[in-house]
Structure 1
Amino acid sequence: MFKFILLVTLVAVAAAEVELVVKDCGSHDSVINSIHVDECNTEPCIIHKGQNYTIHVNFTATKTVQEAHSVLHAGIGFMQAPFPLNPENACQGSVQCPIIAGQTYEFVQTMTTPIFAPSVPVVSRWEVNDENREDIFCFTTNLNIRA
C-alpha cells in the first residue's frame, strides 16, 4: 500500500503545473496574480515545434477597458519575431469584454509553436493590449524551443 501511495504522489508531482517565473514588462491596466502553462512542468518551459500549449493568466483589472488584443513575440537578444495567435481578439476567448476595474479574470489561450521556429532558448513577450494599445498586462519569460 505504501508503494502505491508513493507512486501516486510521484506521478502527481511530475504532472503538476509549474507557475512560471515572469517579469512584468509594463502591465498598465491590471495586476498579474499568477501565470502557468498546462503542458509545462519545468522552468524554463520546454516547448516543441508543432505542439499546442495553453497558458493561464490570472489578473485583476485596475482599469475598465472595452477591447483586449493578444500579441506574442519571441526573441534572441534584440531580434523579436511574432508568434501567430488565434484568436488575436482576447474578447473572443476566455475573457469577456468589457474588462471591469476591480474584477479578477482568468485569461486562457492556446498557441501552437510554429514548426519554423529555431530550436534555441528564447525570451517570450506576451502582451494583451487595450483599445488604446496600452498593455492590460505584459510579461516576459524564458522558453526553450525544441524539435
Structure 2
Amino acid sequence: MLRFACVLALVAIAVAEVEIVVHDCGSKDAVINSILVDQCVKEPCIVHKGQDYTVHVNFTMTRTVSEAHNVLHGGLGFLQVPFPLNPEMACNVNVPCPLEAGKTYLYTNTMTCPDFAPSLRVTARWEIKDENHHDIFCFATALQITN
C-alpha cells in the first residue's frame, strides 16, 4: 500500500500545474485571467533542456483583433534575446481568429527548451501581438534552465 501511495504521489507531481504569478508587461487588448504551465510546480519554473513545456493562458479580450502572433524573449537584465516560436502565427493554432472584444479565450502553446540554451536563470517575456505588432497580452516569468 505504501508503494502505491508513493507511485501515486510521483505521478501527481509529474503532471502538476501551478498557476504562476502574472507579471503583466504591457497587455493592451486583453486582461490575463490566469496562466498555467505544465510540469511547473513552483516559481521559478525549472526548465530542462530538450523537454516540452505547455503554457495555458486564460484571457479576456478588450478589443477585437484580426491576427495574433507568437513572440518570446529570454532576458538577463536589460539584454533581451528573441526565441523563435513555431508557428509564428498563433491564429487557428493557439487561438481562434479573429479574437473578439468581451470574449474569453484559452491560449495554449507547447515549446521545447533548446539543447543549446545556457544553464541559468532567465526572465521569459511571452507576447501575443496583433496585426499592427501591438501587444494583445504580455507576461513575464522567471525560468531556471538546467540539464
Q: Note whether the superposition's TM-score is higher than 0.5.
A: yes
The equivalences for 1:1-147 within 5 A come to 10-11=9-10, 14=13, 15-147=15-147
The answer to whether the 8 A contact 1:73-1:81 is kept is yes
Other structure's SS at 1:90 match: coil
The Cα offsets for residues 65-96 of structure 1, whole Å up to 9 and x where unpaired, read as 00000100001111111112111101031311
The Cα offsets for residues 26-54 of structure 1, whole Å up to 9 and x where unpaired, read as 10000000001112122110001121111
The answer to whether the 8 A contact 1:83-1:114 is kept is no
Structure 2: how far apart are the matches of 1:8 and 1:140?
A: 34
Other structure's SS at 2:115 match: coil
Identical pairs, percent: 60
Structure 2: how far apart are the matches of 1:114 and 1:92?
A: 25
1:117 Cα offset (Å)? 1.1
Aligned length: 146
Partner amino acid, structure 2, of 1:21: V
1:16 Cα offset (Å)? 2.5
Structure 1: how far apart are the matches of 2:79 and 2:111?
A: 21
With normalisation by structure 1, the TM-score equals 0.90
Structure 1: how far apart are the matches of 2:46 and 2:120?
A: 10
1:8 Cα offset (Å)? 7.9
Structure 2: how far apart are the matches of 1:127 and 1:6?
A: 40
The answer to whether the 8 A contact 2:22-2:34 is kept is no
Other structure's SS at 1:80 match: strand
Structure 2 stretches of 5 or more lacking a match?
none
With normalisation by structure 2, the TM-score equals 0.90
Partner amino acid, structure 1, of 2:129: N
Q: CA RMSD in A?
A: 1.9
Structure 1: how far apart are the matches of 2:110 and 2:84?
A: 11
Structure 2: how far apart are the matches of 1:107 and 1:92?
A: 10
The answer to whether the 8 A contact 1:74-1:122 is kept is yes
Structure 1: how far apart are the matches of 2:94 and 2:60?
A: 14
